[in-house]
Amino acid sequence: MRLSVIIVNYNVKHYLWQCLDSVQRAARGLDVETWVVDNASTDGSIDFLRSQFPDVHYVENTENVGFARANNQAIRESTGELVLLLNPDTFIAEDTLQHCIQFFEQHPQAGALGIHMVNRDGSFARESRRGLPTPATSFYKVLGLNRLFPRHPRFAHYYMGHLPEFADGQVEVLSGAFMMLRRTALEQVGLLDETYFMYGEDIDLSYRIGMGGWECWYTPKLMLHYKGESTQQTSFRYVYNFYHAMLIFFRKHFARRYWFAWICVEAAVLGMGFLSMVRKWLKRGIKWLRIVIGLNRLHTPHPETLLFIGSDEAWTTVQDICHRAGLDASRGSELPAKSTVMHCIFEVTADGRPYCNMLWQMVNGSRQGLHCDYGTFNLQSGKLILPNDIFS
């Protein structure tokens, strides 16, 4: 087997359906197996998916064992020379898997490979490639210097802002949302550290791959990452898990050599976690206050909420869905020249290269100043998928 695709799922069956659909298209003509590890979902994910994707290998856990442990379960059972860790709230282009497999063939020292992740609004997800969070790099990020100097090779090293967005490049840390790995490298440095329940395990593995003499690379193939359905980033649990993972990594790899910096960074990380929660609560409170006193009507630049781009048959169904959901919808043949909508919905057709085309339109729209969230509609599934909602 050339490639094993591994996806860990927890209560996001409709996003996972779309992810599997994109993987299935990208795997045509390739030697690929797909594994789904379900962490005790309560939404009937496996029963929903098994009949539609019968060739997928399913692992059903009786409890939520976390991201690292669940991935390790499938890594041990799978047989691919390459292993792809993929988030369920994503979709990839039709040529992504073939391109990445060829990349490993052309780069024999590559131990891990990541790609150009696209946010829900079409913008570049900076976590697609990162620098190692050393004490200095972490300190610059905590101070906000990476925002003030977004392309500085030192101050913006956390997101490696000095590297071009659309060019191959060797990096230090890749995202676990899409991380393709060479199995021989995994066998040498070990699997994901299960000390991390969620977040941080990708940084730890990237670091160990580099220390093992392998290379981590970034290549600009596109992937949408909704980043908000699998994990609720406004919740206390998200903030706690994220900053706790950073502390685990720092204690594991840097505490002995930089004991004073470790104390400073630990205090800063805890402080940033607290401030992050306060900031999110304040934003939410202000939003609701504006609704209560009616100020939101003075700042609503979107006369329409949803623009659909697709076929006549699909448009009829989308209209019915939007009517039932109380959504305003219109139809167009291309993205608008300016932000007149809050959501742009693309139809996923049974033929052609819809995922690839959608991704490039999203990126081009973002670069031209179009600010909106993107979603999809598929007649086969009958689901209208938005970043935070599913309608049918």
For residue 193, pLDDT over 70 is answered with yes
pLDDT band for position 283 (cuts 50, 70, 90): low
Please count the structural domains in the chain: 3
For residue 285, pLDDT over 90 is answered with no
Pairwise CA distance, residues 358 & 111, whole Å: 30
Phi, psi of 13 (to 5 degrees): -60, -35
Taking only Cα atoms into account, the Rg of the chain, rounded to an integer number of angstroms, comes to 21
Q: Based on the domain organization, do 339 and 207 belong to the same domain?
A: no
Pairwise CA distance, residues 54 & 328, whole Å: 37
Which domain covers residue 149, as residue numbers? 3-225
Q: Based on the domain organization, do 215 and 314 belong to the same domain?
A: no
Q: Based on the domain organization, do 311 and 383 belong to the same domain?
A: yes
Residue 230 in domain: no
CB neighbour burial string for 342-369, b if at least 16 within 10 angstroms, e if fewer: bbbbbbbeeeeebbbebbebbbebbeee
Q: How far is CA 242 from the centre of its chain?
A: 15
Q: Tokens for 96?
A: 């992504």
Write out pLDDT tens, residues 97-126. 999 999 999 999 999 999 999 999 999 999
Q: How far is CA 164 from the centre of its chain?
A: 20
Q: Residue range 340-346: average pLDDT?
A: 84
Q: Based on the domain organization, do 310 and 288 belong to the same domain?
A: no
Pairwise CA distance, residues 21 & 6, whole Å: 14
Task: Tell how strand 82-86 and strand 178-182 pair up.
Answer: antiparallel
Residue 300 in domain: no
**To 5 degrees, how large is the angle CA 107–CA 108–CA 109?**
95
Are the C-beta atoms of 377 and 385 separated by less than 8 Å? yes
The whole-model pTM stands at: 0.86
SS3 8: strand
Q: Based on the domain organization, do 207 and 246 belong to the same domain?
A: no
